[in-house]
Amino acid sequence: MARADEGLKSEGLQRALEGALRGERRRLDALLSRHGGLPGPNPNVKLGAAFGEALAAEDPGRALRLALDLARHQTDGESSDTFLPVAGVFGLCALARRLDREPRDVDGALLSLAGDERAGVRIGTTQALAAMAARGGADALVKRAEGWLFAEDREERYAAAATALDAITDPHSIAEATDRQAVLSYLDGVIREVVEAPRSAERSPSRRRLLAALRDALVRVVPAYADAPAWLEAHCAEAKHEDLRVLIDDVLGRLRTAKLGHAELVAMHDALASSAKPPRDPTRTNEEARGRGRKRRRRK
């Protein structure tokens, strides 16, 4: 997670920012692209965080317009200017902490960035949201993420939920949520998304990423929140969907090394076993098949 309270250290970048606020963006775009670390494996999140703080210190109206413009920058994800949306999301998160009333455009832009398919943008967005959560914005992020579960586009909804889970349960932000029941309620909503997904979505890359993010989130949340073991045990007792059962079984295996009581783990394993479908009776299945065969022969 990136955090930079002091803003930009580079005088050149600061001057370029001031120029961009006046409508002259070319120099700023060039410098951010040059030092942004993309299209490498990871964006320069320290630069993104410093840029966000510097932008939030400027006139709110002009700063918001610039942040939105950067966030909406169109790029294929394979070039250095992919860092511009990352700078934009850090700016939006820094501004969101300071604006008395958040314009609707901000949430829409954050949803779009959280659901972005470009890996560099997604990593930067996760880091920006986690940094915002760690600085007193965890409860607000949970509430925001709950709203994203109602996004119309299914792929964007799955991808944004995965990003939100990673940010909310980041090691630096997981303890910052004061309303932990709201976190568990949000996880309930994510589990519903997994269970109620149509068969056509089962091979969706965004859904696979959501499953992985949910698994990692549960591994972090269950030992961290006092009410979480009982909450997960209840889900174990009701789990019918095969994807959810496989995921929970994986989570329980990973929790063996966590700071969790042995009795709690046993209770969760027992609850998961109790909700398994009963095995088929092979003799009954064969009888039914023979019966259907006799009926077909009689019809002939």
Contact present, 230 and 265 (Cβ < 8 Å): no
Task: Indicate the DSSP class of residue 23.
Answer: T
Average the pLDDT over each of 114-128, 174-188, 194-208, 268-282 and give the range with the smallest value: 268-282
What pLDDT, in 10s, does the model give residues 252-293?
999 999 989 999 999 999 999 999 988 776 666 555 555 555
Nearest to 151 by CA among 118, 190, 117, 182: 190
Nearest to 45 by CA among 116, 101, 108, 126: 126
What pLDDT, in 10s, does the model give residues 141-191?
999 999 999 999 999 999 999 999 999 999 999 999 999 999 999 999 999
| pLDDT of the residue at 221 | 98
Contact present, 85 and 124 (Cβ < 8 Å): yes
CA angle 134, 255, 222 (to 5 degrees): 45
The alpha-helical segments, DSSP class H, found in 149-179 are 154-168
Tell me the C-alpha distance between 15 and 21, whole Å: 10
Assign 201 to helix, strand or coil: helix
pLDDT over 70 at 48, yes or no: yes
Tell me the C-alpha distance between 24 and 61, whole Å: 16
Contacts of 171 (CB under 8 A, 6+ apart): 1, 220
Express as a percent the part of the chain with pLDDT over 90: 85
Tell me the C-alpha distance between 41 and 279, whole Å: 46
pTM of the full predicted structure? 0.90
Domain ranges of the chain: 1-152, 179-278
Tell me the C-alpha distance between 115 and 108, whole Å: 11
CA angle 145, 147, 153 (to 5 degrees): 100
**Mean pLDDT taken over the chain:** 93
Assign 213 to helix, strand or coil: helix
